[in-house]
Amino acid sequence: MEQNAQRPLLGVFWMIVTGLCFVAVTALVKLNGPRIPAAEAAFLRYALGLVFLLPMLGTLKRTRFTARIWKLFALRGFFHTFGVTLWFYAMTQISIAEVTAMNYLTPVYVTVAAALFLGETLAFRRILAVLCALLGAMIILRPGFRELSMGHLAMMVVALVFCVSYLTAKMLADAVPASMVVAMLSITVAIGLTPMAYAVWIPPTWGEVALLFAVACFATAGHFTMTLAFASAPLTVTQPVTFLQLLWAVSLGYFAFGEAVDFWVILGGFVILGSVTFITWREAVLKRGTVTPVSYETKV
């Protein structure tokens, strides 16, 4: 940890690059538009992204998993498939800023679920942080003050579904290498999306295929640079940088897609991120190495 703490600027740099990659993912999905059904768009993203697993095929073939591990892989793939499809749908219904802000509900749900199902301590400060995050979500949604679209409801479900995915990933990470967890997620989600994509299939144009391949490239790059960031500096250093991602998303939506800047979305996003930052900082201070790490990456 001391070695990592000596390179905070490098960690901040890689986290900035990570944020830019993930904002690029949302921008490309938004640019692709609603013509291609969400399930098909998600399938093409994961199917095209399998090319990045080619160097790992030999390792995958040689690895032997237990029946329990296979069940966990299947469980995570099932929930992640559902979540990815809803995320692609939400991107066609609501603004980039709203999707980005509501994405940060997932680590909050993970905090609660880890206490309920993994036996982790839910201290009073964590309860307060969770309540603040839910307040942030209400600020964004403002039920009763504006009409809620299916995109907003989809993002609420997305956060819950990905919570299950990340908790399953924690159980898998205790048993198999992290590279295998990532690789099997890509494979199982691609398989899970196949029948859903077939049911709504529309022949994509070469331009749409190229955009979705670019989504796969930026998503893969974002996961890689995020790993470099975590290896270079503690979460307490790199996590606050994720605030920039919301600002970039708002700016991108305004300048590239003509989306109005909603003060309440920005405020709610900062409330949610602030609660997550507080949880991260307090756990680092107390050095609770057994607590489930918070995941900030994009969901695709």
pLDDT of residue 183: 87
Cβ-based neighbours of 144, under 8 Å, separated by 6 or more: none
| Of 209, 238, 207, residue with least CA distance to 225 | 238
> What distance in Å separates the CA atoms of residue 92 and residue 105, rounded to the nearest whole number?
20
Check residue 208 and give its pLDDT: 96
Query: Could you give the 3-state DSSP secondary structure of residue 37?
Result: coil
Q: Which two tokens stand for residue 103?
A: 């994405």
- For residue 1, the model assigns a pLDDT of 44
| Spatial contact of 138 and 268, defined as CB atoms under 8 Å apart | yes
Contact residues for 231 (Cβ-Cβ < 8 A; gap 6+) = 4
Select from 75, 74, 188, 170 the least CA-distant residue to 114.
Answer: 170
Mean pLDDT in consecutive groups of 10 residues from the start of the chain, 300 residues: 60 90 93 94 95 86 87 95 95 91 83 75 76 88 81 92 87 82 90 97 96 95 82 72 84 91 90 80 60 54
CA angle (195, 199, 204) in 5-degree steps: 100
What was the pLDDT predicted at 3? 45
Q: What pTM did the predictor assign?
A: 0.85
Answer whether 199's CB lies under 8 Å from 149's CB.
no
pLDDT value, residue 40: 97
Domain residue ranges of the chain, discontinuous segments joined by +: 2-286
C-alpha angle 148-151-156 in degrees, rounded to nearest 5 = 85
What are phi and psi for residue 255, nearest 5 degrees?
Answer: -85, -35
Please name which of 71, 10, 104 lies closest in space to residue 298, comparing C-alpha atoms.
Answer: 104
Question: Phi-psi category of 293—alpha, beta or left, where left has phi over 0 and alpha has psi -120 to 50?
Answer: beta
Q: Output the pLDDT for position 21.
A: 93
Read off the tokens for 100. 């980005």
Cα 39 to Cα 200: distance, rounded to the nearest angstrom = 8
What tokens does 196 get? 């859903």
Rounded to 5 degrees, what are φ and ψ at 200? -120, 20
Query: How many other C-beta atoms can be found within 10 angstroms of the C-beta atom of residue 203?
Result: 7
- Looking at residue 67, its pLDDT comes to 92
What is the residue whose two structure tokens read 């802000």?
101
